[in-house]
Amino acid sequence: MDTIIFLTDYKGHYGSKYDAVPYNSGLDLNFLSSGLRRIGIEPRFFSFTEVYRQPIDYWKDIPVLYTSSEDVGYHYKSFIEDVICYLEAIGAVVVPSYRFLRANNNKVFMELLRKVAGLPLSLKSHVFGCIEELTATEEDWIYPIVIKLSEGAMSETVDIAYSRYELLKKVSLMTKTSSVKEDAREFIRSRKYQGYVKQSRFRKKFILQEFVHGLKADFKVLNFGEKYFCFKRPTRKNDFRASGSGNRNYSYGEDSGVTKELLDYSREVVDLLKLPFVSLDIVDYDGIFHLLEFQALYFGTVGVIKSTGHYEYKDGSWKYLEGKMTVEDVHIHSIAKYFGK
């Protein structure tokens, strides 16, 4: 049997599963293991901290899949990033590669990675590290414009501005990093050292992104191998955001109204990314598609759980195949396909 290493968090959890029992405990590792063994893969599980205890040669050329984390402050995710970067440096075959972990819940790096991966850039956007970088630019933004903090899920750190005045006001509120102690120290430095430039008080990185007018919904497409699970998310009442509106309002599978053209667009993106599984947020605006965001790991799986079937591209056309699947089922399938089992 071929061996694949799976890295679990400090709770012993791997991956994200909408209906996990107990809550937020990830995939059923016994189910996952038995399914992988049936297709000739022997899974081995390590915690992230155990990685360092193994000799460097142990990891050479060995496939490693791993979980991520959405802990408050992303402190544990930062540790995961250290470990995955280390594994890549010593020759492990990390799936997905470190750059996709870096982009997980990091909208700024996701935007940069979009260019690296050659993904469609249909929406104009720009990245900033602090508000001073925004005020220094003389670019004539088209309003309204969407503001996104780099960190945050479910549209909690997304807003919109209808003028330059409102843009600067909202960005200053969203990106504030200063404290009374820090401000006092900076004041003293500015008096003590001639020509000293004070540190920015607004250093949370953010994105400005072109606004899509008349948005009533977006589509979430979850890809596992050749299986595509789709659902539509309506915008919030009196709001422009779709993500976070609540899955009670979502429509799944054939009920979502997903078109052949949107599925073709999704397949094009999937082919560019070359990943075992990926989550795509897509807007269909009068037949023009915009990829808003994507995630390569630790994304929501409600679309798998609540769909009555999935789409596959067969013999030159899209087919909807009825049948419920578990998150473990689609992981096993996508891992088998990715590793040629």
**pLDDT tens-digit readout, 165-209:** 999 999 999 999 988 888 888 888 988 898 888 889 999 999 999
pLDDT tens track for 212-226: 887 788 999 999 999
Give 321 or 243, the one with higher predicted confidence: 321
Q: How many CB atoms lie within 10 A of CB 22?
A: 6
Residues 128/150, Cβ–Cβ less than 8 Å: no
How far, in Å, CA of 54 to CA of 20, rounded? 31
pLDDT for the residue 179: 86
Both tokens assigned to 296? 């390569």
CA 338, CA 54: separation in Å to the nearest integer? 26
Q: Is pLDDT at 317 greater than 90 in this prediction?
A: yes
DSSP 292-311: EEEESSS---HHHHH-SEEE
The pTM for the full model equals 0.91
CA distances from 56 to 45, 91, 144 (A): 17, 9, 52
Q: Per-residue confidence at 246, pLDDT binned at 50, 70, 90? A: low
What does the pLDDT look like over 14-59, one tens digit per residue? 999 999 999 999 999 999 999 999 999 999 999 999 999 999 999 9
pLDDT of residue 234: 87
How many percent of the chain have pLDDT more than 70?
95
CB 127 within 8 A of CB 324: no
Give the 3-state secondary structure of residue 328: helix
Does residue 338 carry a pLDDT above 90? yes
pLDDT above 90 for 251: yes
Rg (CA), the chain: 22
Per-residue pLDDT reduced to its tens digit, 129-169: 999 999 998 778 899 999 999 987 656 689 999 999 999 99
